[in-house]
Amino acid sequence: MTMTGAEVNWFSEVSRLEPCNDGCFDAIVSSEWTIGDKPNGGYLLSLLGRAAVTLGVHPHVMAASAHFLHSPDPGPVKIETEVLRTGRSASQLAARLVQQGTTCVEALLTTTTIDAESSPYWDTGVPQPGLLSLEDCPRLVAASPGGVRVAIMEHVEVRLQPSSMGFTTGQPTGRGELRGWLALPGGEPFDPVSLLFAVDAFPPATFDVEFAGWVPTFELTVYVRALPAPGPLRILQRAQLVEGQKLDEACFAWDVRGRLVAQGTQLAGIRLG
Amino acid sequence: MTMTGAEVNWFSEVSRLEPCNDGCFDAIVSSEWTIGDKPNGGYLLSLLGRAAVTLGVHPHVMAASAHFLHSPDPGPVKIETEVLRTGRSASQLAARLVQQGTTCVEALLTTTTIDAESSPYWDTGVPQPGLLSLEDCPRLVAASPGGVRVAIMEHVEVRLQPSSMGFTTGQPTGRGELRGWLALPGGEPFDPVSLLFAVDAFPPATFDVEFAGWVPTFELTVYVRALPAPGPLRILQRAQLVEGQKLDEACFAWDVRGRLVAQGTQLAGIRLG
């Protein structure tokens, strides 16, 4: 689907904050960045990340860990922050997302200044996906195989390697792994705040094993490893274990230069078996 | 090294808490669970985990995320907790470790009741190490290649697959991966609290690339996936990227039944290059 400028649901708009008082911000959780009627967890964490860097101690989120207490409804929320420590090279903050007096997300964040000129000193070279070009990866549509409207997919461009698309026709591979591309609405460049969303943008990796309904995130941790170059991200998302109605997922995001820019890990609930 | 009962530096002892008042505990950070004079980060997180389950909302830590602000000195500390939400199947808490008024570690924890009878519904089967028996893996000694006393290694039994021991003789493999066994002092069984330590017990995986001095943890996230069977754990710890003087590590712990019982991920500082 293509959009004209007027229709673009910009990430910078849906994650916009209005300072309300000391360390507190107002935000509107978009009804369009949802799965069914539930806002995406990484999107919620990105609101807390934006609050953390807006406070101005350090400009970039380096590590963020969120625990999810309640799924907020789309609409107005408050972001409350507390600076825990201001250091020379890194600072730590706590942030929470509150809706009508109920805490929905609680997060800890470490911020720093990421050097735009940094380069890898050592890396394993794996597991960067051997991906087809973006154009050769089909875009996911805004309806899950379960029939739920996934509004966020109308705006965010999730393109999957054809070999990862089996679940859309009831033929998952059983590997528990999804590879593909991710782009923000309107092609907006990624930054450390939107990377907090990026590692939670793909469908659950277990769709490649067995389709399940809503997979609510209990915990999401993100490490931002480099400032991303403009352009879409290559994503690898994979699961390791489903046990006790819980699933883990690791997510890796590389920019168009092939640089690892973010790593995410999450523990989520899942109804299988 | 063997120890008689009287000399055993039990984990349950060095992680003991004394309730002091509402949601607050006193603890003593052991001078023996240190690297140089710095307490191990996973050990500090386990103190917060014990506080969280001692409050009694749910008996097991399921997810814990810690951000490290200051390294405390061995000695007395206070653990302050706050119950964020009490749910039927899971609860969330905040906990901090404070020494002489300075917050050293700030953590969020989700607790639950882990079913002792649960079993994997699906798993990838990888990357469980193909390990030699515990007896065939040499035990690490309490001195780092840099000459620093690593007191914790006198108590905790870290045994590495011979192929992971290259760094001890200046011959790392370059893979950034350590495999081996872990046992608590006196063979004390692991539980969800000590698993928070287990995934941070091994040396940095980058020792298998290049030796570095103190590698301070910025963030450590742990998922407890099952109640471990008594006995030592098989550990796989691996790094993916060193960039901007930072390193990530993923750690996996399997019990003697071969069940994945914990997953850890951390972002740490490192001086290389």
Instruction: Give the pLDDT score at A127.
Output: 53
Phi, psi of A66 (to 5 degrees): -125, 140
* B3-22 pLDDT per residue, tens: 444 589 999 999 999 999 88
Q: Of the candidates B191, B190, B152, which has an alpha carbon nearest to the alpha carbon of residue B41?
A: B152
Question: Averaged over A111-121, what is the pLDDT?
Answer: 96
The half-sphere exposure of B207 on its side-chain side, counting CA atoms within 13 A, is: 22
Q: What is the SS3 string spanning B38-103? A: EECHHHHHHHHHHHHHHCCCCCEEEEEEEEECCCCCCEEEEEEEEEEEECCCEEEEEEEEEECCEE
**A87's tokens:** 């250091």
Give contacts of A238 with chain B, Cβ < 8 Å: 124
Q: How far apart are CA A222 and CA A63, in angstroms?
A: 6
Interior CA angle at A34 toward A28 and A36, to 5°?
A: 135
Q: How far apart are CA B9 and CA A139, in angstroms?
A: 57
Chain-chain contact of A120 with B69 (C-beta, under 8 angstroms): no
Give contacts of A65 with chain B, Cβ < 8 Å: 65, 67, 108, 219, 221
Q: Of the candidates B263, B227, B192, which has an alpha carbon nearest to the alpha carbon of residue B118?
A: B227
In the beta sheet, which residues pair with residue B242?
A122, B247
Instruction: Give the pLDDT score at B129.
Output: 60
Q: How far apart are CA A143 and CA A45, in angstroms?
A: 24
| Beta strand B157-160 pairing with B34-35 | unpaired
Query: CA B233: distance to chain centroid?
Result: 12
**A216's tokens:** 């609510």
Confidence of residue A132 (pLDDT cuts 50, 70, 90): confident
Q: How far apart are CA A247 and CA A203, in angstroms?
A: 13
Contacts of residue B83, defined as CB under 8 A and 6 or more positions apart, other chains included, come to B23, B55, B57, B91, B92, B93
* Neighbour count for residue A271 (Cβ, 10 Å): 9
Chain A with chain B: Cβ pairs closer than 8 A: 173
Q: How far apart are CA B183 and CA B160, in angstroms?
A: 12
Q: Print burial letters for B101-129: b (CB count within 10 Å at least 16), e (below 16).
A: eebbbbbbbbbbebeeeeeebbbbeeebb
Of A121-130, A164-173, A189-198, the range with the lowest mean pLDDT is A121-130
Of A149-153, A235-239, B13-17, B248-252, the range with the lowest mean pLDDT is A149-153
What is the chain A residue with the closest CA to B221? A221
Residue of A195 and B130 predicted with greater confidence: A195
In a mutational test of the B interface, the residue from A114, A117, A119, A121 whose CB has the highest number of chain B CBs within 10 Å is: A121
User: Does the bond joining A228 to the residue before it have cis omega, within 30 degrees of 0?
Assistant: no
Chain-chain contact of B108 with A84 (C-beta, under 8 angstroms): no
For A51, A169, B11, the CA distances from B44, given in Å and listed in that order, are 28, 47, 12
In the beta sheet, which residues pair with residue B181?
B159, B234
Residue of A21 and A39 predicted with greater confidence: A39
Q: pLDDT below 50 — which residues of chain B? A: 1-5
Considering only CA atoms, give the Rg of chain A: 18
Confidence of residue A141 (pLDDT cuts 50, 70, 90): confident
Chain-chain contact of B241 with A225 (C-beta, under 8 angstroms): yes
Residue of A141 and B117 predicted with greater confidence: B117
Chain-chain contact of B110 with A63 (C-beta, under 8 angstroms): no
Q: How far apart are CA A82 and CA A75, in angstroms?
A: 23
Phi, psi of B8 (to 5 degrees): -65, 130
> Burial of B181 by CB count in 10 Å (0-12 exposed, 13-18 middle, 19+ buried)?
buried
Whether pLDDT at A51 is above 80:
yes
User: A176 CA to chain B: closest CA distance, Å?
Assistant: 7
Instruction: Give the pLDDT score at B1.
Output: 42
User: B6 CA to chain A: closest CA distance, Å?
Assistant: 39
Q: Of the candidates A10, A18, A47, which has an alpha carbon nearest to the alpha carbon of residue A200?
A: A47
Helix (H, G, I), strand (E, B) or coil at B218: strand
Whether pLDDT at A158 is above 70:
yes
Instruction: Give the pLDDT score at A128.
Output: 61
Q: What is the mean pLDDT of chain A?
A: 93
User: In this prediction, does ipTM exceed 0.85?
Assistant: yes
Whether pLDDT at A6 is above 60:
no
What is the chain A residue with the closest CA to B65? A65
Give contacts of B49 with chain A, Cβ < 8 Å: none
Q: How far apart are CA B42 and CA B25, in angstroms?
A: 18
Confidence of residue A56 (pLDDT cuts 50, 70, 90): confident
